[in-house]
Amino acid sequence: MSADYRDGVTSRFSRESVDPAAGYQFGWVADERYRVIEGDTAATWTDRRSWTLGWGLNLPRGSSLQVGYGILDATTLDVRSDRQIDQRTWPNVQARLPSVGFPASTGIQTLTLSSGIQRIVRETEYGGVAIRRRVDEDVRVPFDLTVQWRGTLVTAYQGAVRSGLGSDPTGDTERDEVSHRFSVRSRWDPAGPLVGRIDRPLELSMLAGYVSERSCRITRTGEACVAFVDQIRRTVSVSLDTGIGDFAVGFQVSFDDRQSFVGQRTGSTQLQFGMFGQLEFSAGAVPMP
């Protein structure tokens, strides 16, 4: 079980250079000394306090359970508007299931699976002429699956689903994000005509990713949710490296595609090829006079 408490005050001044003295720098002064220096009021002053509580269990066969709870309270005073932030993180759970073994006929050695859920609720109250209140809720569910095959092949999948809702006096906001990440790693000894020419095993690594993000806004007088963020990103990279004598050599291919579906619908596509070589050598002891 663990507990963490943090409390701090920060301030920023838009003025000429000034010596704030050691008391300001080490936090040995009252809060008012952070707001006013030599008659000037800070452009931004923040008082922040947070509590984080957590406990966990390590279970047999690599399984585990982690549970956390967080509280954040902050007060910010600046030239735009005063803000009071109240944030709660609950539930915050991460679980890892026991590793599962399979018969040799399946080709799979072990399989591990982990997932969880995190929910963050943030309430922001703006001061000034009229008090306004904004509430944001964000929920994220990750998923991780790793398969160790017979031999040296390892495949892994990491995904996450994220959704959020926001509400303020002018309308509501909806947010959705989905991400996928798939990786393959393997190594094998050279065979055929490569025997004797390559001194090290060949190492292959492949990574593919996909991220989709969308945010839309519903005004108090409207009915449709109008998107202001709607974009996807797709990436693929493949690398292969090995060693020949004292040289480490390899090549890499990467593909990156980005596309937006709002506004001018901008996007970009990049395909890159690369080769590298690195000379590795060791020197003997350097004689000392």
Would you give the distance in Å from CA 173 to the centre of its chain?
22
Tens place of pLDDT per residue across the chain (289 aa) = 899 999 888 888 776 666 677 777 777 777 677 777 777 778 888 899 999 999 999 988 889 999 999 999 999 888 777 889 999 999 999 999 998 888 888 899 999 999 999 999 999 998 765 678 999 999 999 999 999 998 899 999 999 999 999 999 989 999 999 999 999 999 988 777 666 677 788 899 999 999 999 999 999 888 899 999 999 999 999 999 888 777 788 899 999 999 999 999 999 999 999 988 877 666 656 566 6
Residues 6+ away with beta carbon under 8 Å from 148: 108, 109, 110, 111, 154
pLDDT of residue 198: 75
Residue 247 to residues 70, 193, 195, 210, 219, Cα–Cα distance (Å): 50, 19, 16, 35, 62
Q: What is the CA radius of gyration of the chain?
A: 27
Do the strands 44-58 and 2-12 form a parallel or antiparallel pair, or are they unpaired?
Answer: antiparallel
Q: Residue 276: its pLDDT value, please?
A: 81
Contact 31, 47 (CB under 8 A): yes
Note if the bond before 91 is cis, omega within 30 degrees. Answer: yes
192 token code pair: 């055929």
Please give the pLDDT value at position 286. Answer: 57
Q: What is the pLDDT of residue 128?
A: 62
What's the helix, strand, coil split of the chain in %, to 5?
5, 70, 25
Neighbour count for residue 80 (Cβ, 10 Å): 11
| pLDDT of amino acid 1 | 85
Distances (CA, A) of 286 to 42, 192, 246, 289: 58, 41, 21, 10
b (16+ CB within 10 A) / e for 127-166: eeeeeeebebebebebebebbbbeeebbbbebbbebebeb
Report helix, strand or coil for 174: strand
Q: What is the pLDDT of residue 185?
A: 95
Identify the pLDDT of residue 281.
Answer: 63
The encoded tokens of residue 2 equal 């663990």
What tokens does 207 get?
């990574």
Q: Report pLDDT for 278.
A: 76
